[in-house]
Amino acid sequence: MTNTLRRYLRPQQIRELSLLLLIIVVLIFFSTQIENYLSPRFFNRIASDVAIIAVVAVGETLVVLTRNVDLSVGSIVGVTAYFMGTYLGNNKDLNPALAVGMAIGLGAALGVINGALVAYGRVPAIITTLGTLAIYRAALVELSGAKTVVIDAMPKWVQDLPSQTFVSFGGLDVRPLMLTALIVVVLFQLVLSFTQFGRRLYAIGSNPEGARFAGLPTERVVFAAFVLCGALSGLGGFMFLARFGNITVVAAQGMELQVIAAVVVGGVNIFGGTGTMFGALLGAILINILQQSLIRMPQISQFWINALLGVLILAAVATDALILSRLRQLWARTSVQMTEGQAKRIASGK
């Protein structure tokens, strides 16, 4: 019994369950503070906002799992949203699938630059992406001539996309953006759990040297993680365009901080090797609920959100380093040494 429990309730799952619990506590707290807090409208708004962050966070998770970080995602989202907006404004009859594909391709191309510099140029990820964060944004500002993309110039299908409803459960709508995010999260969770590529991400993140000595193509895997992160940021950029419609050159500026916050709060270790896509999704949901709820609390300044994000990230990193790593060691040790009987005795407290 305890062994089965142990098998299915590993530290990572405990981490994610406690995050789920925290989300519920936060929801209960705010519903006592704000009238009509839990409404279908609130759900729909959070779902659309979380969708964008979640898609980018999935990409960021791939990179963070390999013990790297991508700070340029906000700029990639901004660049793709802006350029796809401009392009669609000029070519209204572009095939929707092709448009989404172009956004993903543009993001992937920017990811290729990051990945090549980190994996093959051996420039640390933090340096590379701090640089490309500035470069991509500067390129956007220079090439755009500071013009703004407006929603009215978009083809009809883009304008309708965010509010289209597939199914509705008592006002809780299932919309395209949310559905896309769910598909991306599930798909990449499957990739992480069941493919060679996914397992390699974990292996490289837990021990880069070891992975190299074991003969894994670490460079190629890290490169691929950055390219995928860029591609998903490109998809996120397209979703950003559909959601907001009006895009300026500062679109999605600073989004990287929210994304990294979501990933780290979601239990993806900033030092690589552990974490899941569901965790990242939960992190994104928690952060977004806090953000949207603070706006609706008149007695507290909404500007507290960033300070709160910082505290959350620090708390997440600290629990990972100080508590979870010990828990993991304990799990590893006990599962090797203990027989089932011993484990039972400990569990029953004798």
Partner 1 sequence: MTRISERFKSWEGLLLVLLVAVVAFNIIESPVYLGGQNFVNLFQLSIEKIMVALVMTFIIINGEIDLSVASMMGLSACVLATLWRLGQPMVLCILVALIVGLIGGAFNGFWISMAGLPSLAVTLATLIMYRGLALVLLEDKSIGQFPQWFNDLGQKALFGPLPLALVIFFVGFILALVILQYSGFGRYVYVIGNNRDVARYSGVRVQRVKMSIFIASGFIAALAGIFLAARLGAVRGSTAEGFELDIITMVLLGGVSIFGGTGTLFGVLLSILLVLNLRNGMGLLNISGNAQTGVIGALLILSVLVPNLAARVQAEWNRRRAASQPPAAVKQAVSAE
- The region of 35-43, 185-193, 212-220, 253-261 touching partner 1 under the rule CB under 8 A is 253-261
Q: Can you tell me which of 112, 270, 327, 338 binds partner 1, judged by CB under 8 A?
A: 270
* Nearest CB to partner 1, comparing residues 5 and 314: 314
> d(Cα 72, Cα 335) in Å, to the nearest integer?
40
Binding of residue 73 to partner 1 (CB under 8 A) = no
Binding of residue 211 to partner 1 (CB under 8 A) = no
Q: Can you tell me which of 128, 274, 291, 293 binds partner 1, judged by CB under 8 A?
A: 128
Q: Can you tell me which of 7, 122, 156, 350 binds partner 1, judged by CB under 8 A?
A: 122
* Nearest CB to partner 1, comparing residues 138 and 190: 138
Phi-psi sector, 322: left (phi>0), alpha (psi -120 to 50), beta: alpha
8 Å CB contact between 110 and 268: no
Q: Can you tell me which of 153, 306, 334, 338 binds partner 1, judged by CB under 8 A?
A: 306
Q: Can you tell me which of 17, 21, 95, 124 binds partner 1, judged by CB under 8 A?
A: 124
- The region of 133-141, 164-172, 223-231, 274-282 touching partner 1 under the rule CB under 8 A is 133-141
Please give the residues from 142 up to 201 whose contact with partner 1 meets the rule CB under 8 A: 142
- 247: exposed, middle or buried (Cβ count in 10 Å: 0-12, 13-18, 19+): buried
Binding of residue 304 to partner 1 (CB under 8 A) = yes
- The region of 30-38, 132-140, 159-167, 341-349 touching partner 1 under the rule CB under 8 A is 132-140
3-state SS string over the chain? Answer: CHHHHHHHCCHHHHHHHHHHHHHHHHHHHHHHHCCCCCCHHHHHHHHHHHHHHHHHHHHHHHHHHCCCCCCCHHHHHHHHHHHHHHHHHHCCCCCHHHHHHHHHHHHHHHHHHHHHHHHHCCCCHHHHHHHHHHHHHHHHHHHHCCCCECHHHCCHHHHHHHHCCCEEECCEEECHHHHHHHHHHHHHHHHHHHCHHHHHHHHHHHCHHHHHHCCCCHHHHHHHHHHHHHHHHHHHHHHHHHHHCCECCCCCCCHHHHHHHHHHHCCCCCCCCCCCHHHHHHHHHHHHHHHHHHHCCCCCCCCHHHHHHHHHHHHHHHHHHHHHHHHHHHHHHHHHHCCHHHHHHHHCCC
> d(Cα 6, Cα 28) in Å, to the nearest integer?
30
* Nearest CB to partner 1, comparing residues 154 and 305: 305
Q: Can you tell me which of 153, 297, 308, 327 binds partner 1, judged by CB under 8 A?
A: 308
Binding of residue 323 to partner 1 (CB under 8 A) = no
Considering the complex, what minimum distance in angstroms separates the CB of residue 291 from partner 1?
Answer: 12
Interface mask toward partner 1 for 272-301; x: CB under 8 A: -----------------------------x
Considering the complex, what minimum distance in angstroms separates the CB of residue 206 from partner 1?
Answer: 15
- The region of 1-9, 95-103, 256-264, 291-299 touching partner 1 under the rule CB under 8 A is 256-264
* Nearest CB to partner 1, comparing residues 261 and 343: 261
* Nearest CB to partner 1, comparing residues 48 and 128: 128
- Backbone CA torsion sign across 77, 79, 80, 86: positive
Binding of residue 310 to partner 1 (CB under 8 A) = yes
Q: Can you tell me which of 185, 231, 305, 324 binds partner 1, judged by CB under 8 A?
A: 305
- List contacts with partner 1 (CB under 8 A): 69, 117, 121-124, 126-128, 130-135, 137-139, 141-142, 257, 260-261, 264, 270-271, 301, 303-311, 313-314, 317-318, 321-322
